[in-house]
Amino acid sequence: MKLPARVKIVDVGPRDGLQNEKQPVPAEVKIGLVQRLQDAGLAEIEVTSFVSPKWVPQMADAAAVMHGIRRRAGVRYSVLTPNLQGFEAAVAGPRAEWPDEIVVFGAASEAFSRRNINCSIAESIGRFAPVADAARARGIAVRGAMSCTVGCPYEGEIAPGKVGYLARLMKDIGVERVDVADTIGVGTPRAVQAALEATLAHYDVDHVSGHFHDTYGQALSNTLAALALGVWNFQSSVAGLGGCPYAKGATGNVATEDVVYMLHGMGIETGIDLDALIDAGVYISQALGREPHSRVSKAIRTKKES
Ligand code: HMG
Ligand code: MG
């Protein structure tokens, strides 16, 4: 199996990881997490979302977090913006505080689209198109997250054709790269490959990433299955944080620590310092009053203590 020599990871912990936390996490803690992730060598960080605070109260401090982070040259900072209102809020401050990339987020499942962003797939594309245009006009990159590409909490199994359909719509409105998300972590390697292949019919492999939640413990296997197709961009959450408020029971993304350990073990470069990443995971987990949800973090810390 020929695999990519290098992988780029977007750590989505500060956004996907924290959005579902019931306890309010202070902006300073989120800023501290972003700092530790960039110190660990993450070149892409999904920082926050400009969404309705009534829908996702945890992200209400998006502007304060973007204001507070200390940016490092070469790191790409992204935020979620589901509509023009969110986009305008994301660029309301000085240019130095704008995101480098915005993320519009749609779903391959109609039911999930309605629950998550309160509109149909077709309506969502109508909302995303002016956001994509406005971002590009300001030199901001545009990514598209595609939820429920394998399974949906409301519709069950999702056919790859629905994923291809959404990918084409994203492409038509100028979304530059897309994330193939297994939102509820039900996917197994062949199903995930089918969703990726449906996307690869519209985007080249350099513009497709894997975003795997680990609810059923399949995310590392799915990562390997994606690597086998040549996919080399992935999203994961430090300490395995997270879940989506509109995907009940779905747990966090695969832990970045676990992905990095696997990749380094296979001789694949990430540019990430695993020990520093583990420290970042411990930092945020302590702030939340729990253990990091990463087997690699636990094993390495236990070994160091003995
Ligand atoms: P809506 O109710 O249809 O919007 O919500 P609306 O335009 O009718 O406006 C209603 C109210 O929301 C108004 O306020 C607006 O001002 C406000 P009111 O007059 O009632 O006081 N509003 C906003 N406020 C702040 N920022 C905005 C904004 N837009 C409207 N951008 C909306 C539509 C999309 C806003 C809403 O459904 C929403 O915020 N949903 C949040 C969805 C979300 O954040 N989900 C989690 C992220 S996606 C995810 O986790 C999946 C992913 O990880 C991939 C995967 O794993 O699948 C990416
Ligand atoms: Mg997600």
Ligand nearest to the CA of 112: 1
First-last CA distance in the chain = 37
Q: Give the global pTM.
A: 0.97
**Ligand 1, pocket-test mutation among 51, 128, 155, 178, most atoms within 8 A of CB:** 51
Would you say the CB of residue 211 lies under 6 angstroms from ligand 1? yes
Using CA positions, which residue lies closest to atom 50 of ligand 1?
A: 244
pLDDT at 2: 86
Using CA positions, which residue lies closest to atom 23 of ligand 1?
A: 52
pLDDT at 306: 85
Using CA positions, which residue lies closest to atom 31 of ligand 1?
A: 86
The C-alpha atoms of residue 138 and residue 81 are separated, in whole angstroms, by 15
Residue 137 host element (H or E): helix 121-137
Of 119, 148, 152, 244, which is the active-site residue? 244
Closest by CA position to 117, among listed 244, 253, 212:
244
The C-alpha atoms of residue 175 and residue 129 are separated, in whole angstroms, by 9
Question: Residue 11 pairs with which residues in a beta bridge?
Answer: 45, 236
Spell out, as residue ranges, where the chain has pLDDT lower than 50: none
pLDDT at 140: 98
User: Considering Cα of 23, then 72, then 7, then 164, what sign does the dihedral take?
Assistant: positive
Question: Residue 103 pairs with which residues in a beta bridge?
Answer: 80, 143
Place of tokens 């790409």: 76
pLDDT at 243: 67
Domains of the chain: 8-305 (3.20.20.70)
244 tagged catalytic? yes
Ligand nearest to the CA of 241: 2
Give residue 84's identity as a one-letter amino acid code.
Answer: L
Structure tokens, 81: 């913006």
The answer to whether residues 37 and 280 touch, using CB atoms and an 8 Å cutoff, is yes
Would you say the CB of residue 51 lies under 6 angstroms from ligand 1? yes
| Number of residues assigned to the chain | 306
Place of tokens 């290098």: 6
